[in-house]
Amino acid sequence: MSTPNDNTPPTLTAPTTATTTAASLTTTVPTTTQPDFTPRPTPTPSPDIEALLAQMTLEEKIGQVMVIGFDGPEADNGLLEMIEDYHVGGVILFARNVESPRQVAALTNALQNAAALSTAGQSAHPGLLIAIDQEGGRVARLTENKGFTEFPGAMALAATGDVENAHRVAQAMAAEMRAVGINTDFAPVLDVNNNPANPIIGIRSFGSEPELVAEYGVAFVDGLQSGGVLAFGKHFPGHGDTSVDSHVALPLVPHERARLEAVEFVPFKAAMRANVAGIMSAHVTFPAIDAMPGLAATLSPKVLTGLLRDELGYGGLLVTDSLEMGALAQSGYPVPVAAATALQAGADLLLFNRDHTLHRTAFREIQTWVQDGRIPESRLNEAVRRVLQAKAAFGLFSPEMVDVALAEATCGTPETKALSRAVADQSITLVHTGSPAALPLAPGSKLLVVETPAANGLGRELDVPFIVVDEQPTRAQRQSALSMARDGRTVIVAVADASRFSEQVKLVEAFVKTSSPVIVVAIRTPYDLTTMPEQATLLATYGLNPPTLEALLRVLRGEVLPQGRLPVTLAD
pLDDT band at 199 (very low <50, low <70, confident <90, very high): confident
Averaged pLDDT for residues 5-34: 42
Is residue 194 pLDDT above 60, yes or no? yes
Q: Contact at 8 Å (CB) between 430 and 538?
A: yes
Better pLDDT: 526 or 16:
526
Q: Contact at 8 Å (CB) between 285 and 250?
A: yes
Residue span(s) of the chain under CATH 3.20.20.300 come to 133-397
Distance CA 68, CA 350 (A): 8
Instruction: Return all residues near 96 (Cβ < 8 A) that are at least 6 apart.
Output: 71, 72, 73
CA dihedral for 128, 129, 134, 139, sign (positive or negative): negative
Q: What is the pLDDT of residue 10?
A: 35
Which of 472, 560, 547, 554 is closest to 149 using CA atoms?
Answer: 547
With b for 16 or more beta-carbon neighbours within 10 A and e for fewer, the 38-51 pattern comes to ebeeeeeeeeebee
Give the E-state strand segments of 111-241 in sequence order. Answer: 119-120, 123-124, 129-132, 184-185, 230-236
Distance CA 129, CA 463 (A): 45
CA dihedral for 262, 263, 268, 271, sign (positive or negative): positive
Averaged pLDDT for residues 453-479: 92
Q: Contact at 8 Å (CB) between 173 and 185?
A: yes
Neighbours of 143 (CB within 10 A): 16
Q: Quick one: the chain helix, strand, coil %, rounded to 5?
A: 40, 10, 45
399-455 tens-digit pLDDT: 889 999 999 999 999 999 999 999 999 999 999 999 888 888 888 889 999 999 888
Q: Report strand pairing: 429-432 vs 537-540.
A: antiparallel
Distance CA 93, CA 103 (A): 12
pLDDT band at 236 (very low <50, low <70, confident <90, very high): very high
Is residue 45 pLDDT above 70, yes or no? no
Is residue 43 pLDDT above 60, yes or no? no
Distance CA 87, CA 123 (A): 11
Q: Contact at 8 Å (CB) between 200 and 243?
A: no
Averaged pLDDT for residues 101-113: 97
Q: Contact at 8 Å (CB) between 540 and 526?
A: yes
* DSSP label at residue 201: S
pLDDT band at 46 (very low <50, low <70, confident <90, very high): low
Q: Report strand pairing: 123-124 vs 119-120.
A: antiparallel
pLDDT band at 14 (very low <50, low <70, confident <90, very high): very low
SS3 at position 34? coil
Look at the domain 133-397 and name its fold: TIM Barrel (3.20.20)
Q: How far is CA 194 from CA 116, 203, 304, 394, 410, in A?
A: 46, 11, 24, 34, 38
Instruction: Return all residues near 384 (Cβ < 8 A) that are at least 6 apart.
Output: 53, 56, 61, 64, 65
251-262 tens-digit pLDDT: 889 999 999 999
Is residue 141 pLDDT above 80, yes or no? yes
Is residue 525 pLDDT above 60, yes or no? yes
Is 245 tagged catalytic? no
Q: Could you tell me what percent of the chain has a pLDDT over 90?
A: 80
Q: Report strand pairing: 278-281 vs 230-236.
A: parallel
Look at the domain 429-540 and name its fold: Rossmann fold (3.40.50)
Q: What is the pLDDT of residue 287?
A: 94
Q: Contact at 8 Å (CB) between 219 and 174?
A: no
Q: What is the pLDDT of residue 344?
A: 98
Distance CA 240, CA 129 (A): 28
What average pLDDT does the chain have? 90
Q: What is the pLDDT of residue 2?
A: 36
Residue span(s) of the chain under CATH 3.40.50.1700 come to 429-540
Poorest-pLDDT segment among 130-134, 160-164, 196-200, 364-368: 196-200
pLDDT band at 215 (very low <50, low <70, confident <90, very high): very high
Averaged pLDDT for residues 497-524: 93
Of 71, 85, 247, 255, the catalytic one is 247
Q: What is the pLDDT of residue 118?
A: 79
Q: Supply the pTM of this predicted model.
A: 0.92
Identify any residues that bridge with 349 across adjacent strands, giving them in sequence order.
319
344-371 tens-digit pLDDT: 999 999 999 999 999 999 999 999 999 9
Q: Report strand pairing: 518-522 vs 537-540.
A: parallel
Is 222 tagged catalytic? no
Neighbours of 552 (CB within 10 A): 28
Neighbours of 553 (CB within 10 A): 14
CA dihedral for 457, 459, 461, 465, sign (positive or negative): negative
Q: What is the pLDDT of residue 438?
A: 87
Distance CA 450, CA 400 (A): 50
SS3 at position 306? helix
Cα angle value 449/454/459 (rounded, 5°): 25
Q: What is the pLDDT of residue 242?
A: 85
Averaged pLDDT for residues 261-266: 97
Q: What is the pLDDT of residue 124?
A: 74
* DSSP label at residue 257: H
Of 321, 348, 425, 497, the catalytic one is 321
pLDDT band at 26 (very low <50, low <70, confident <90, very high): low
Neighbours of 378 (CB within 10 A): 7
Neighbours of 59 (CB within 10 A): 15
Better pLDDT: 242 or 373:
373
147-184 tens-digit pLDDT: 999 999 999 999 999 999 999 999 999 999 999 999 99
Amino acid at 487: D
Is residue 244 pLDDT above 60, yes or no? yes
